[in-house]
Amino acid sequence: MSAIRERLPNETLVYLGDTARVPYGSKSPETVIKYAWQCSNFLVEKGVKAIVVACNTASAVALSELSRGLKIPVLGVIEPGAEAAIAKSKRRAIGVIATQATIASNAYGKALKSLDGEVRVVSRATPLFVPLVEEGWVDNEVVAAAVKRYLEGMHDEGIDVLILGCTHYPLLKNAIQNEIGVDVQLVDSAETTALALEQLLISRDIKAVEGAGLHRLYVTDLLNKFEQIAGNFLGCEPPNVTRVDL
Amino acid sequence: MSAIRERLPNETLVYLGDTARVPYGSKSPETVIKYAWQCSNFLVEKGVKAIVVACNTASAVALSELSRGLKIPVLGVIEPGAEAAIAKSKRRAIGVIATQATIASNAYGKALKSLDGEVRVVSRATPLFVPLVEEGWVDNEVVAAAVKRYLEGMHDEGIDVLILGCTHYPLLKNAIQNEIGVDVQLVDSAETTALALEQLLISRDIKAVEGAGLHRLYVTDLLNKFEQIAGNFLGCEPPNVTRVDL
């Protein structure tokens, strides 16, 4: 949302966080697809003109079904992330770290191979990174131990790009970069997804070109801290957030 | 379930795991109560004669409401755990580690104080212990670092008993005992809850005294590994597990 807001300041963003049922990354494809449909239907009812599935797990598991079933365009974060990684890799060897569900889907592997049939992909599930970030631990000795354990030997596989395949992982950038080494570039899909969204809106001639977006934020579970955290992420005053049932 | 099966081999147990929406420990009381009601209603429809809320968070947050609203007896795990801790503590100083939601509810503090008004309670939220166990990490350097960080200074508070206030935590017993020291006894509520359930069934004259229980297991999300894990926990062949929608 932060990257999209920056690139597309005239758009009104309707944000939905399914906080009552997170995390998605450890759940089965059937359940993730069911939740993704409920979230999408909610947004469609709000009258949106396009949907960004801003979650790697939901993108990996549910995007093709949503695209087939919805009448408005749907954009995931996997393809933009894969494109950015391919553009940056000179050795044509790319690492991917993500949740269990994303890795099991092989969505990044397929997206990367469809862009470059010769690229080598090294994938690892690193599920503990999500709760570490949720705990607010992004650069302490627990993080260092977890990063070391997960990434062990990955550098020796010859990768020169590592995709951070979960929206939480960019917050662990320091610890991940320290472990993987400075010769491996980290890629997250926020900015490339915002760019892909802009191209999509332009190609369909539905890009807003004036006015300021009046954003609305919805969550399925509302903890006290959420509005403060949202303000920190967006670099603004704590926004109004509404709790909804799906 | 394992402890109850051992103590009450003649009872038929109907198990429901809300795997599609776990974890509960980081969610708001409103959401936990809503989920606890949906789970309870499912079990009531299955014709059970009593319900054990075998989750510390749901016990801490939802038990009193469930007890008021249901026609069958409902037993939580907080009170049995508090009783076991009081019985073991000589210094009348007891530590509690649990999820954010359980600690925020102060359910253990209230239960302990109602048993002994003079007892001193030292509480800490240790939310990362759940995902560590889910990852299968119970005794490595990441666990050691997390345990050290969470329990720092707790021993110096003079406690001689530490309540493991979440069903996942007993799997981390070794690491926790190493950090907190051998002069602090660890208490979990599985066995005392099974005993409390037996007393409840006897007092209402509804304890099954013959036959073998024909258990049924339900989950809201079914991952491939679940049946295997359930078999490991129960010390039997992987049982049949049915996925249901709540």
Its ipTM equals 0.91
> Rounded to whole angstroms, how far apart are CA atoms B151 and B30?
29
Does the annotation mark A39 as catalytic?
no
Residue A149: its chain B contacts at CB < 8 A?
140-142
Chain A interface test: which of B27, B105, B224 (most A C-beta within 10 Å): B27
Q: B137 — contact with chain A (CB < 8 Å)?
A: yes
Peptide bond into B23 cis (omega under 30): yes
> Rounded to whole angstroms, how far apart are CA atoms B64 and B76?
9
Would you say B173 and B138 are in contact if contact means Cβ atoms under 8 Å apart? no
A161–chain B nearest CA distance, Å: 26
What's the rounded mean pLDDT across residues B78-100?
Answer: 97
pLDDT band at B225 (very low <50, low <70, confident <90, very high): confident
B218–chain A nearest CA distance, Å: 15
Per-residue pLDDT, A225: 76
> Does residue B100 surpass a pLDDT of 90?
yes
What's the rounded mean pLDDT across residues A229-237?
Answer: 75
pLDDT band at B240 (very low <50, low <70, confident <90, very high): confident
Give residue-wise pLDDT tens across range A34-50.
Answer: 999 999 999 999 999 99
pLDDT band at A10 (very low <50, low <70, confident <90, very high): very high
Query: Pick the residue with more confidence: A234 or B164?
Result: B164
Backbone torsions φ then ψ of B106, nearest 5 degrees: 55, 30
B197–chain A nearest CA distance, Å: 30
> Does residue B52 surpass a pLDDT of 90?
yes
Please give the domain boundaries of chain B with CATH numbers for all domains.
Answer: 2-77+191-243 (3.40.50.1860), 78-188 (3.40.50.1860)
Tokens of B46: 């299955």
Burial annotation A10-44 (CB, 10 A radius, 16+ → b, else e): ebeebbbbbbbbbbbbbbbbebbbbbbbebbebbe
**DSSP β-bridge partners for residue A161:** A94, A185
DSSP codes of every residue in B188-237:
-SHHHHHHHHHHHHHHTT----SS----EEEESS--THHHHHHHHHHTSS
DSSP codes of every residue in A19-84:
TTT---TTS-HHHHHHHHHHHHHHHHHTT-S-EE---HHHHHHHHHHHHHH-SS-EE-SHHHHHHH
Give residue-wise pLDDT tens across range A86-103.
Answer: 999 999 999 999 999 999
pLDDT band at B236 (very low <50, low <70, confident <90, very high): confident
> Percentage of chain B with pLDDT > 90?
88
Tokens of A33: 């697809």
pLDDT band at A156 (very low <50, low <70, confident <90, very high): very high
pLDDT band at A239 (very low <50, low <70, confident <90, very high): confident
Half-sphere exposure of B180 (CA within 13 A, CB side): 27
Chain A interface test: which of B105, B134, B223 (most A C-beta within 10 Å): B223
